[in-house]
Amino acid sequence: MAEEKVRVLGPVEVASDSKERVAYELMNQIANFEMDGQGEARKTPRYWLSLYRKCHKAVHGYTLDLILQDN
C-alpha cells in the first residue's frame, strides 16, 4: 500500500462554536457513554470515523434515519 502524505500549508483552527467542534464533542460524549464502567476501550479508526460522521450529520440537521445510514 502506497503511503500518502498530507501537508497543511497554514494554521488549522477549529472554533469552539463551529459545527465541526460540536460534532467532535458529541462524538466524545457518545464514546464516553458507551465505555461507561469499562475503562479505556480500544476502538478502531473505522469506529471513530463512523461515529464522527454520524455526529457531523446530526449537527448539520440530518434526520435520525439519515444519520443512522451507513453510507
Domain boundaries, the chain: 19-68
Burial class (CB in 10 A: 0-12, 13-18, 19+), 27: buried
Which pLDDT value is given to residue 44?
83
User: Looking at this protein, which amino acid is placed at residue 29?
Assistant: Q
Rounded Cα distance between 19 and 5, Å, is 27
Q: Which residue has the higher pLDDT, 71 or 69?
A: 69
What is the sign, positive or negative, of the torsion defined by CA atoms of 56, 60, 66, 71? negative
What is the sign, positive or negative, of the torsion defined by CA atoms of 27, 28, 31, 36? negative
Which pLDDT value is given to residue 41?
62
Which pLDDT value is given to residue 53?
92
